[in-house]
Structure 1
Amino acid sequence: MSQINKLKILNDPIYGFITIPNPLLYDLIQHPYFQRLRRISQMGMSYLVYPGAHHTRFHHALGCMHMMQKAIEVLKFKEVQISKEEENALLIAILLHDIGHGPFSHAMEHSIVEGVSHEAISLLFMNRLNVEFDGQLSLAIKVFKGEYHRKFMLQLISSQLDMDRMDYLKRDSFYTGVAEGNINSDRLIQMLNVVDDVLVMEEKAIYSIEKFLMARRLMYWQAYLHKTSLVAELILTKTLKRAKELTLKGTELPSSKPLAFFMKNKIELPDFTDDVLDQFAQLDDYDIVSALKSWQTEDDFILSSLSKMIINRDLLKIKLSSEKFPKEMLHELTERFSKANGISAHDTEYFIFKGKIKNQAYSKDAEPIHILKKDKTIEDVVEASDQLNLKALSKPVTKYYICYPKQLLEN
């Protein structure tokens, strides 16, 4: 067998060169499960708003691994004891943290797979890979599940200031061009420390943390919860639900084998056998786009209309408000659309619906961002900051939306 150099260097548009530190990480990246992430968009339907937002979960996972390498370097320099095994576990856990994402990132969780989170599927993939790699992922899985005694290790992977958030804010702001989302990740990482196995930020980082939290808030309103991205994702979810409804009633719809499998079967977490996981591992954005293109010409009015909306970016009208929309408004729109198109009130729910979105940059209920003060005391960032806006950032902001076809405006 030919000897492959597994210590590769990759060129990333944000960080420059990223190194793959050891052969095990190289083999994980080369695995088909991980390569699938090249075909899963990082920001779902946001490319319909920001044409540059075509980057993938593959990009993001490698960026997170790079951030983790830098964080480990900084902590070791500050004499935090991290063994080679722990270092490897951190790199593996962050590399694979998003491996369970389905097509277009979040739409699948609410339509094709019945309420199974991508985190749960990520864990299934990790367990499967652990068998394949003879138990070399055991410690990484322990860390990922929060079962390892060194608390700071989970905080680096999943907390209110983790490597995942640092990479996606920097990366998503770069690819969308939303400059407000850019953060100084280098400074944030340089300020990391560990006290009693808990992750802390040195007091000098306070302004960088404030900027990070503000950037997160602005990215949610300007990108992740942008009303056009939101309505496109809602339409995609409704399209997949409709396709599944028709399939379960016996309609044969054109779709790839893995997509057809999830259309024909009700899959919940206990149903995820190795065979089901293999089917899921074949699913990516291309299955969905290809299906949508075919479904445009289907006889079913709902399925063809919704598919055309996404393919041609001719979406439903969406209105946002800080107040709830009155039921009468929904009722009146439903009646008009139902009458105009000869469909039942139940079927109009695919076109006319309301809901709410929430944005909270910092949660006081979750594990706080700990600030290590000069006198060695530790304080929650909200208390340590002299900025009143940090207190405001920890309050959840709820907005209500209503979606309906544009032609109802014209009448």
Structure 2
Amino acid sequence: MIKSKKLEIFNDPIYGFINIPNSLIFKLIAEPSFQRLRRISQMGLSYLVYPGAHHTRFHHAIGCMHLMQHAVQVLRLKDVTITKEEEEGLYCAILLHDIGHGPFSHAMEHAIVEGVSHEHISLLYMEKLNKEFNGSLTTAIKIFKGEHPKKFLNQLVSSQLDIDRLDYLKRDSFYTGVAEGNINSERLLTMFNVVDNKLVIEKKGIYSVEKFLMARRFMYWQVYLHKTGIVAEQLLISVLKRAKELLSNGEDLNCSASLKFFMQNKLDENTFTSEHLDRFAQLDDVDILSAIKEWQYTDDFVLSRLCSMIINRKLLHIKIKNNPIDPKKVQKQKLFLKKKYDLSESEIEYFVFEGVIENQAYNQHNQNINILRDNGKIVDAILASDQLNLKTLSKKVTKYYICYPKLSV
């Protein structure tokens, strides 16, 4: 009897067939903590705006691993030394870079475990897996933490033009249908090079860099900072906040044991240890959606209405302005709500609130995108470009919003 071979390729809608490079990567993908990423949405509640945006962190991680294979191949062809150990470290680091994301990704990053970033949790996962795999992830951890002597290895994983961004911009553009965000990831990768241990882009790739930065700006305004998406995410955060408040007051709420644990225990980076990883690994989008469906029938007016708003997509109204919101307008909306419902000041703030959004496509002062000129000189992408509006992209744009109920909550 012929035994079937283990899965060695993925069929990806973006890149086609993706090969798994070695047995270690195969085993990491098979880990339950990694398989959990199949149940973590890449773009939170953006599917309420773009119905096709149902792709997951699993899709993204596999795509990143594929692009990293391409990057290693390109750099080696240009006589950049990358050892087998470093190559495997790159694959592991990029594959696991988002393993610490909680339900709905960035939308709830600080709502379930306050003050703990997904990067910190990813590192804890990697350290735990490193023990289980007898130190096989040691190089990957050094690269992930930026402690490897070859700085360009870390830049491939985390910088302003890294493998992570090359995949998520192209992938999010594909699944949302927002063509302005589509970038030529493969073209950019072929322009990669290394000078003085740092990642650079060859001069002929400047136009691809310009398109990359413009696409990033468009995607933030049209997708990541879409006004409906902002409202939905804020409501999601408010649901967890209200649930925590009710639990702290002794009320009981039906939800998964893991979700209830994190709502009843306040943890930060100092108290969140590897011991909590097993509980965290049980959390995914299913826990949150199941809880929201259940909580919309609670007796608490605030929690019930917040949940039904998300489930039925009857969200708050939002206005975005270039200047700070007039406090009088905020107060007017609060008074209107107070007259209609018998709510306390703190309860009203769940339905009437303001906030700030920022968009900066490129930061000249942090991990610059460097262009390698024909004469060997390295310059910042802004200086190398003849696009005047590219300088504008380095300026932070700040906008202000107010959310409040429509005619009825």
With the shorter chain as reference, the TM-score category is over 0.9
Partner letter of residue 230 of structure 2? Answer: L
What stretches of structure 1 of length at least 5 have no aligned partner?
none
**1:340-393 superposed Cα distances (whole Å, 9 cap, x missing partner):** 110011111111000110001001111110100000100000000011011011
| SS of the residue 2:105 aligns to | coil
**1:160-203 superposed Cα distances (whole Å, 9 cap, x missing partner):** 10000000000000000000000011110000000111000000
* Structure 1 position 328, deviation (Å): 0.9
| SS of the residue 1:116 aligns to | coil
* Structure 1 position 136, deviation (Å): 0.5
- Whether the 8 Å contact between 1:232 and 1:315 is mirrored in structure 2 is yes
- Whether the 8 Å contact between 2:65 and 2:94 is mirrored in structure 1 is yes
- Whether the 8 Å contact between 1:6 and 1:23 is mirrored in structure 2 is no
5 Å-filtered alignment, 1:299-338, equals 299-338=299-338
Residue of structure 1 equivalent to 2:339 = 339
Residue of structure 2 equivalent to 1:191 = 191
| Counterpart Cα distance in 2 of 1:26 and 1:338 | 57
5 Å-filtered alignment, 1:16-31, equals 16-31=16-31
**1:204-241 superposed Cα distances (whole Å, 9 cap, x missing partner):** 00111000000000000110000001110000000111
* Structure 1 position 7, deviation (Å): 6.4
- Whether the 8 Å contact between 1:41 and 1:104 is mirrored in structure 2 is yes
* Structure 1 position 339, deviation (Å): 2.2
**1:32-69 superposed Cα distances (whole Å, 9 cap, x missing partner):** 00000000000001000000000000000000000000
Residue of structure 2 equivalent to 1:204 = 204
Call closer, same or farther: CA 1:3–1:199 in 2, change over 3 Å: farther
Deviation larger for 269-278 or 17-26: 269-278
What stretches of structure 2 of length at least 5 have no aligned partner?
none
Residue of structure 1 equivalent to 2:387 = 387
- Whether the 8 Å contact between 2:108 and 2:236 is mirrored in structure 1 is no
Call closer, same or farther: CA 1:381–1:77 in 2, change over 3 Å: same
- Whether the 8 Å contact between 1:112 and 1:244 is mirrored in structure 2 is no
Partner letter of residue 154 of structure 1? Answer: N
| Structure 1 segments (4+ residues) deviating >3 Å | 2-7
Residue of structure 1 equivalent to 2:367 = 367
TM-score by structure 2 length? 0.98
Partner letter of residue 350 of structure 2? Answer: Y
Call closer, same or farther: CA 1:4–1:80 in 2, change over 3 Å: farther
Percent identity of the aligned residues? 63
Residue of structure 2 equivalent to 1:62 = 62
* Structure 1 position 272, deviation (Å): 1.9
5 Å-filtered alignment, 1:241-280, equals 241-280=241-280
- Whether the 8 Å contact between 1:43 and 1:105 is mirrored in structure 2 is yes
| SS of the residue 2:266 aligns to | coil
| SS of the residue 2:44 aligns to | coil
Residue of structure 2 equivalent to 1:11 = 11
* Structure 1 position 284, deviation (Å): 0.1
Residue of structure 2 equivalent to 1:39 = 39
- Whether the 8 Å contact between 1:127 and 1:141 is mirrored in structure 2 is yes
**1:67-107 superposed Cα distances (whole Å, 9 cap, x missing partner):** 00000000000010000000000000000000000000023
Matched, 1:350 2:355: no
| SS of the residue 2:354 aligns to | strand
The root-mean-square deviation of aligned C-alpha atoms, in Å, is: 1.3
Residue of structure 2 equivalent to 1:400 = 400
- Whether the 8 Å contact between 1:7 and 1:21 is mirrored in structure 2 is no
- Whether the 8 Å contact between 1:317 and 1:405 is mirrored in structure 2 is yes
Call closer, same or farther: CA 1:14–1:22 in 2, change over 3 Å: same
Residue of structure 1 equivalent to 2:150 = 150
| Counterpart Cα distance in 2 of 1:130 and 1:26 | 15
| Counterpart Cα distance in 2 of 1:107 and 1:380 | 32
Partner letter of residue 182 of structure 1? Answer: N
Partner letter of residue 22 of structure 2? Answer: N
**1:102-131 superposed Cα distances (whole Å, 9 cap, x missing partner):** 000023323221111111111111111111
Matched, 1:102 2:87: no
* Structure 1 position 408, deviation (Å): 6.5
Residue of structure 2 equivalent to 1:79 = 79
Partner letter of residue 162 of structure 1? Answer: D
| Counterpart Cα distance in 2 of 1:70 and 1:391 | 30
Residue of structure 1 equivalent to 2:291 = 291
**1:291-334 superposed Cα distances (whole Å, 9 cap, x missing partner):** 00000000000000000000000000011011111111111111
TM-score by structure 1 length? 0.97
Partner letter of residue 115 of structure 1? Answer: G
* Structure 1 position 275, deviation (Å): 3.1
Partner letter of residue 346 of structure 1? Answer: S
- Whether the 8 Å contact between 1:296 and 1:307 is mirrored in structure 2 is yes
Task: Give the number of aligned pairs.
Answer: 408
Residue of structure 2 equivalent to 1:219 = 219
Partner letter of residue 352 of structure 1? Answer: V
| Counterpart Cα distance in 2 of 1:108 and 1:171 | 21
